[in-house]
Amino acid sequence: MHGPSGLLLEGPLVVPTTREVVLSGTHGTAVDSTTGEGAVPIEAGQPVIEIDHVTKRFDDYLAVADADFSIASGEFFSMLGPSGCGKTTTLRMIAGFETPTEGAIRLEGVDVSSVSPHKRNVNTVFQHYALFPHMTVWDNVAYGPRSKKIDKTLGKGEVKRRVDELLEIVRLTDFAKRKPAQLSGGQQQRVALARALVNYPSALLLDEPLGALDLKLRHAMQFELKRIQREVGITFVYVTHDQEEALTMSDRIAVMNSGNVEQIGSPTEIYDRPATVFVASFIGQANLWPGKQIRMDGDLAELSVLGTTLRARPGDTAIEAGGHATLMVRPERVRVSVDPPEGDVATVSATVTDLTFQGPVVRLSMDAPDGSPIVAHVGTEQNLPLLRPGDRVHVAWAPEASLVLPAADIPTTEDLEEMFDAPPES
| Binding residues for ligand ATP (CB under 6 A) | 58, 61, 63, 81, 83-89, 241, 423
Residue nearer to ligand ATP on the CB measure, 220 or 422: 422
Strands (E), 73-189: 76-80, 102-107, 110-111, 122-126
Q: 158: which residues sit within 8 A by CB, 6+ positions away? A: 2, 145, 150, 151
Residue nearer to ligand ATP on the CB measure, 6 or 84: 84
Residue nearer to ligand ATP on the CB measure, 85 or 193: 85
Residue nearer to ligand ATP on the CB measure, 85 or 288: 85
Q: How far is the CB of 63 from ligand ATP (least distance, A)?
A: 4
Residue nearer to ligand ATP on the CB measure, 83 or 136: 83
Q: How far is the CB of 304 from ligand ATP (least distance, A)?
A: 37
Q: What is the greatest pairwise CA distance in the chain? A: 78
Beta partners for residue 426, in sequence order: none
Q: How far is the CB of 90 from ligand ATP (least distance, A)?
A: 7
Residue nearer to ligand ATP on the CB measure, 19 or 241: 241
**Distance in angstroms (rounded) separating the CA atoms of residues 180 and 177:** 10
In 3D, which of 12, 19, 85 has the Cα closest to residue 48? 19
Q: 89: which residues sit within 8 A by CB, 6+ positions away? A: 56, 63, 64, 98
* Long-range contact pairs involving 146-152 (C-beta distance under 8 Å, separation at least 24): 148/32, 148/33, 148/34, 148/199, 149/34, 150/34
Q: How far is the CB of 233 from ligand ATP (least distance, A)?
A: 27
Q: How far is the CB of 154 from ligand ATP (least distance, A)?
A: 37
Decide: residue 304, CB within 10 A, 0-12 exposed, 13-18 middle, 19+ buried. Answer: middle
**Distance in angstroms (rounded) separating the CA atoms of residues 186 and 183:** 8
* Phi, psi for 264 (deg, rounded to 5): -125, 130
Residues 62 and 259: beta-carbon distance below 8 Å: yes
Q: How far is the CB of 53 from ligand ATP (least distance, A)?
A: 18
Residue nearer to ligand ATP on the CB measure, 278 or 397: 278
Residue nearer to ligand ATP on the CB measure, 161 or 241: 241
**Distance in angstroms (rounded) separating the CA atoms of residues 403 and 51:** 30
In 3D, which of 124, 147, 190, 139 has the Cα closest to residue 34? 147
Q: How far is the CB of 239 from ligand ATP (least distance, A)?
A: 6
3-class DSSP assignment, residue 307: coil
Q: 419: which residues sit within 8 A by CB, 6+ positions away? A: 82, 281, 282, 411
Could you tell me how many residues make up the chain?
426
Residue nearer to ligand ATP on the CB measure, 85 or 198: 85
Q: How far is the CB of 385 from ligand ATP (least distance, A)?
A: 45
Residue nearer to ligand ATP on the CB measure, 38 or 84: 84
Helices (H) and strands (E) in the chain, counts: 10, 22
What's CA 263's distance to the chain center, in Å?
Answer: 11
Q: How far is the CB of 270 from ligand ATP (least distance, A)?
A: 17
Q: How far is the CB of 271 from ligand ATP (least distance, A)?
A: 21
Q: How far is the CB of 387 from ligand ATP (least distance, A)?
A: 40
Instruction: DSSP for 34-51, please give it.
Output: TT-TT---B-TTSEEEEE
Residues 339 and 375: beta-carbon distance below 8 Å: no
Residue nearer to ligand ATP on the CB measure, 323 or 423: 423
